[in-house]
Amino acid sequence: MKACVTPDEDTGHEGRGGHAGQDGHGTTGRASGRRGRSPRLRPHPFGLRTRLVLAFLLVAAVGCGTTAALTYRAARNAILEQTQDTAVSAFREQIDALGTTLPIEPEMLRDTLMMVARQGKPRAWRVYAEYGTLRVSSTDRPTSSVITPELRARAADDEAVPHGSFQRVVKNGTPYLTIAVPAVFLARSAEGPPQRTGLVFYAVMELSEEEANIEAMVTAARDGALPALAVALIPALIAARGVLRPVRELRHAAHSMGRGRLDTRIHAKGSDELADLARTFNESAAELERSVAELRNAEARARRFASDVSHELRTPLAGMLAVTEVLDEDAGSLDSDTARAVRLISAETGKLAVLVEDLMEISRFDARAAELHTDEVDAADCVRKTLQQRHWTDPTQVVPYLTEGIRARLDPRRFDVVVANLVGNALRHGEAPVTVRLWAEGDQLVTEVADRGPGIHPDVLPHVFDRFYKADQARTRSAGSGLGLAITLENVRLHGGTVTAADDPEGGAVFTVRMPL
Amino acid sequence: MNSRAATTGHRRRAGGAAKPRRAAAVALLALLTPPALAGCGIQKSDVVEAGGAATLHVGPPVPEERLVLYFVGPDGRSMPVIRDLGRPFPDHTSPSGGSGEHVPTDVFGPGYEISRDDLNRGGIVTDKILAMLMAGPRANETAAGITSALPRAEGDTPTMLQASKGNASTGNPARRLVWVRTPFPVKKLSDAGVRQLVCTTAYAEHPAGLVDVSLSGPDGILPTARCDG
Amino acid sequence: MPRVLLIEDDPSVREGVELGLRRRGHEVRTAATGEAGLDALAEFRPDLLLLDLMLPGINGVQVCRRVRESSQLPIIMLTARGDDFDVVIGLEAGADDYIVKPARTEVIEARIRAVLRRIEEPAGGRAAVEFHGELAIDRAGLTVAKAGERIALAPSELKLLLHLTAAPEQVFSRQQLLEHVWEHSYHGDARLVDACVRRLRNKIEDTPGDPRYIQTLRGFGYRFGPLGPL
């Protein structure tokens, strides 16, 4: 049977890389999201179905058992009581009619007893009489070992009004009914209280037939209870199914919701608690869907706003940027203050253009409008061209170690941005020489950019790929746009790869890009 | 289900709700199972009272013509015997005179015969009956283990001194108080012996034995007693 | 110095670019709409057309098509977004290159020069007219004829064909072609190459879907020939 909760062997350490302090170095800009499953409770050893069925069977068993036990006890007591009452009263009746002398005459009494013994009711009995030291019986033995001293004491008790009594005795596995009836007589008158004669009659009756009857009842109860339990299994399974199907649906729905399908709903029918639960689930799901939609709308609006703003900025910038050259050229002929102002405007216009361009790029990523135009290229060529184009050809500044001949399917323009941003970042924040390594590892293209600088502070490490993150809060603006590494991360993700930042134990920061070949 | 399973189940889970529930189930089973299992078959029982005693027809057939003497059984309890009026002892019992054993007689010779009329009168006949009691059980009676707790008769026998009409002092106007004087000390008598004297006297004086009896001996007087109380 | 016609609706961009180019010695005429631009075309007879894609009235792509109907004037598109689908449309319509705004004047001028630059003749005496199958290529006269009929090729198309035929059966990667034909960086937009190849095939191939002259080597790039028996 399937437990409703399945074990998740890996409780996960995702996102740990984001905290550099834990393992010394390393942060990931991993493209893969969180794993779909969250750590779960250990499952109950028995599934809900098992437990339901067991509970059902237990209730049925207890019900059957209790009913059977009570019925059995009542029936057994009834059987025994009837036998006992019949035997006792029959015995007394028969003795009542007897005549004797006092003291008794054993021979005469023996004949009497033989006669009584023949009329045992409801079953044959053996009859004994005790008088003083005399022992008379209907059998060849003067007395019976079944008769207990307690019964004798009770029969002979002369403190109380004389009365008959009986006792069930089990001897050697055979149950017996023993009856004692003391005999009284009217001494000299029919009026006064009867006086004890000292004579006590005993009857011993086997109860094997009653026992057989009772055992037949036990057998019948057992034979009835077991099929009843087996039959109870069917409603138990049906009930379990009835409970479990909505539960299973709920689980699937919750799972589906967890995977982002917020329009998941459960078919809620009926008016029981499970249907209520389903309806509640549906309401919550609808609410959640609405909230998420609102959030998404708000986010989309914010992104569109950023995108629109940058877009609107481009047109004036396009005009400004086209004339910066004019400003630069003519600045020399202006007076010094005006010249400084003009050069400042020119320089800042250039930076603004870069910033707007980067913002546009980020907006495209956010809007998932960024497209990958892959081409199969020589990876080493690609990196070399990037370095050449940026004029990073001084071996004291940038040292490439490129494995030749790797054909990789990538977007050359985006890969160029990745490498250029990483090298530019290393030159800006680290120290030369910056080494660029390129090699293939399995089916991955690994690009590593390392510098000889102070490395990345552990507090900063988790945030290096954040947008506009300032490592040094005091520094208001870096030379770059502040979006370079964020764009790098997005570009690598677009390729289905990962980029990690770490501290080299020997000093300096190491950025590693892994992309599928 | 056993207790081990319950505890391991508990250890494994953080929440403690499972254990009490399981323990309750175990307890329920423990409560239900023994009666169901132990209740099978027929059990022995205690002694149970069931109805009254059986009343025998004791000969001779007419109760009013009986003499009732109270002796003691082997277990120390009273055992009444019934003697016929005036029937000479040797007639009835097995003739064992030749055995040389002295069989005590309760017939003290002429003047001790008891007639049917005597019985209904009471009085003097009581003395005779007491004399029979003092004479002890007969052979057939001793054969049944019947003995007497009274000292052997040494000539004098207890005599009824006086039978008062019922008076206020006894608290029961319907009952007479009968005084019996014994030639032997009464305070040393066993309870069984006292009961022998009281009951024999009571039934001698009244057909239903409804009298109070006070025993007095050379050493004093015993509290008033009844046979039917 | 080349004469440049700039069709741009935004006055600041129009003025800025005009100013920048004029400073560098270009003769620049501007137009604010596509219609005005087309009118100016006949009268001004520019060497090159700088064309904004987003225009009121008839847009840049339509202007591009109109121009190509009658002329092989070099056309460079000005676009706001490099990733735009409009770029592809513009390239399909016959533009030779594009520039993403905002751009410095030096960048614009470099592109203008690159588009206008004549393809360098390989050293060594080669026949003035080469024959490749039905194609006759006159490297000196910069004309191409197929089965004796002259084919009108835009500058980028002509340069691409000349470059490929200079080394028949040699494979050129897109990046190489970008560098040599368009003088872009290695990491430029390979769509330029693909669009140009498509246009060229439409003009010279018998069945553009099954090219004979300009063949694709998946994963590597393009090459001219081998032609094989027809």
pLDDT at A30 (0 to 100): 44
Q: Which of A26-30, A315-319, B125-129, C214-218 has the lowest mean pLDDT?
A: A26-30
Separation between Cα atoms, residue B20 and residue B6, nearest integer Å: 9
Q: How confident is the model at residue A423 (pLDDT cuts 50, 70, 90)?
A: very high
CATH node for A273-366 = 1.10.287.130
**Locus of tokens 């520039």:** C99
Residue A127 corresponds to which tokens in the numbers above? 């009859």
Matching fold, domains A2-14+46-216 and A273-366 = no
Q: How confident is the model at residue B11 (pLDDT cuts 50, 70, 90)?
A: very low
% of residues, chain A, pLDDT over 70: 89
What is the widest separation between alpha-carbon atoms in chain B?
Answer: 106
**Which range among A111-120, B84-93, C6-15 has the greatest average pLDDT?**
C6-15
Average pLDDT over residues A89-96: 87
Between chains, do A103 and B12 touch, taking CB under 8 Å as contact?
Answer: no
Between chains, do A101 and B82 touch, taking CB under 8 Å as contact?
Answer: yes
**Which range among A117-131, A212-226, A430-444 has the greatest average pLDDT?**
A430-444
- Calculate how close chain C gets to A367, using CA atoms only, in Å: 13
Find the closest chain C residue to A350 by CA distance.
C104
pLDDT at A21 (0 to 100): 38
User: Backbone phi, then psi, for A196, in 5-degree steps?
Assistant: -65, 145
Average pLDDT over residues A490-507: 91
- Does any CB of chain A come closer than 8 Å to the CB of residue B12? yes
Between chains, do A315 and C185 touch, taking CB under 8 Å as contact?
Answer: no
**Locus of tokens 């991993």:** A30
pLDDT at A152 (0 to 100): 87
- Does any CB of chain A come closer than 8 Å to the CB of residue C119? no
- Calculate how close chain C gets to A429, using CA atoms only, in Å: 25
- Calculate how close chain A gets to B204, using CA atoms only, in Å: 9
The pLDDT of residue A166 is above 80: yes
- Strand segments, DSSP code E, in B1-66 are 48-52, 54-55, 57-58
> What DSSP string runs through B90-149?
HHHS---GGG------S--STT----HHHHHH-THHHHHHHHHHHT---HHHHHTT-B--
The pLDDT of residue B129 is above 80: yes
Peptide bond into C226 cis (omega under 30): yes
Q: At what angle do helices B3-12 and B18-38 cross, to 10 degrees?
A: 170
pLDDT digits (tens, 9 = 90+) for C28-54: 999 999 999 999 998 999 999 999 988
User: Backbone phi, then psi, for A70, in 5-degree steps?
Assistant: -65, -45
Q: Of residues C30 and B40, which shows the higher confidence score? A: C30
Q: How confident is the model at residue C82 (pLDDT cuts 50, 70, 90)?
A: low
- Calculate how close chain B gets to A91, using CA atoms only, in Å: 9
What mean pLDDT value characterizes chain A? Answer: 82
- Does any CB of chain C come closer than 8 Å to the CB of residue A315? yes
CB contact residues (below 8 A), chain A span 323-362, against chain C: 323-326, 329, 350, 353, 356, 360
Residue C28 corresponds to which tokens in the numbers above? 């620049």
What mean pLDDT value characterizes chain C? Answer: 88
The pLDDT of residue B216 is above 60: yes
**Locus of tokens 């007419």:** B62
The pLDDT of residue C230 is above 80: no
- Does any CB of chain A come closer than 8 Å to the CB of residue B46? yes
Euclidean distance between the first and final Cα of chain A, in Å?
44
Q: Measured between CB atoms, which of A318, A371, A407 is closest to C13?
A: A318
Write down all domains in chain C, each with its CATH number in brackets: 3-120 (3.40.50.2300), 151-224 (1.10.10.10)
Q: Is the dihedral of CA C121, C126, C132, C137 positive or negative?
A: positive
Q: Which of A37-41, A143-147, B62-66, C68-72 has the lowest mean pLDDT?
A: A37-41
pLDDT digits (tens, 9 = 90+) for A338-382: 999 999 999 999 988 888 888 888 888 888 888 888 888 899 999
CATH number 3.30.450 given to A2-14+46-216: yes
| C neighbour chains, 3+ CB pairs within 8 Å | A
Separation between Cα atoms, residue B181 and residue B216, nearest integer Å: 5
Peptide bond into B34 cis (omega under 30): no
Cβ neighbours of C55 in A, within 8 Å:
none
Say which CATH topology domain A375-516 has.
Heat Shock Protein 90 (3.30.565)
- Chains C and A touch, using 3 or more CB pairs below 8 Å: yes
- Does any CB of chain A come closer than 8 Å to the CB of residue C83? yes
Between chains, do B80 and A102 touch, taking CB under 8 Å as contact?
Answer: yes
Q: Of residues A409 and A19, which shows the higher confidence score? A: A409
What mean pLDDT value characterizes chain B? Answer: 69
State the pTM of this model. 0.54
Between chains, do C80 and A412 touch, taking CB under 8 Å as contact?
Answer: no
Which of A307, A376, A382 to mutate to probe the C interface, most C CBs <10 Å? Answer: A376
Average pLDDT over residues A428-457: 90
The pLDDT of residue B109 is above 80: no
> What DSSP string runs through C151-171?
E---HHHHHHHHHHHHSTT--
Residue A236 corresponds to which tokens in the numbers above? 């138990």
Cβ neighbours of C104 in A, within 8 Å:
321-322, 324-325, 350
Q: Parse chain A into domains and list their residue ranges.
A: 2-14+46-216, 273-366, 375-516
pLDDT at C50 (0 to 100): 93
Residue A191 corresponds to which tokens in the numbers above? 């009026």
Average pLDDT over residues B45-72: 80
pLDDT at B170 (0 to 100): 47
- Calculate how close chain B gets to A288, using CA atoms only, in Å: 30
Separation between Cα atoms, residue C47 and residue C26, nearest integer Å: 10
- Does any CB of chain A come closer than 8 Å to the CB of residue C25? no
Q: How confident is the model at residue A97 (pLDDT cuts 50, 70, 90)?
A: confident
Beta bridge partners of B80: B70
Between chains, do A215 and B41 touch, taking CB under 8 Å as contact?
Answer: yes
Question: What value of ipTM does the predicted structure carry?
Answer: 0.86
Q: How confident is the model at residue B119 (pLDDT cuts 50, 70, 90)?
A: low
- Calculate how close chain C gets to A268, using CA atoms only, in Å: 47
pLDDT digits (tens, 9 = 90+) for A295-349: 989 988 888 888 888 888 888 888 888 888 888 888 888 888 999 999 999 999 9
- Does any CB of chain A come closer than 8 Å to the CB of residue B37? no
The pLDDT of residue A105 is above 90: no
pLDDT digits (tens, 9 = 90+) for C121-142: 555 556 678 888 888 988 888 8
Between chains, do B207 and A192 touch, taking CB under 8 Å as contact?
Answer: yes
Which of A308, A325, A345, A355 to mutate to probe the C interface, most C CBs <10 Å? Answer: A325
Size of interface A-B (CB pairs under 8 A): 207
Cβ neighbours of B228 in A, within 8 Å:
192-193
Q: Which of A221-225, B25-29, B61-65 has the lowest mean pLDDT?
A: B25-29
pLDDT digits (tens, 9 = 90+) for A179-204: 999 888 887 777 777 888 888 899 99
% of residues, chain B, pLDDT over 70: 54
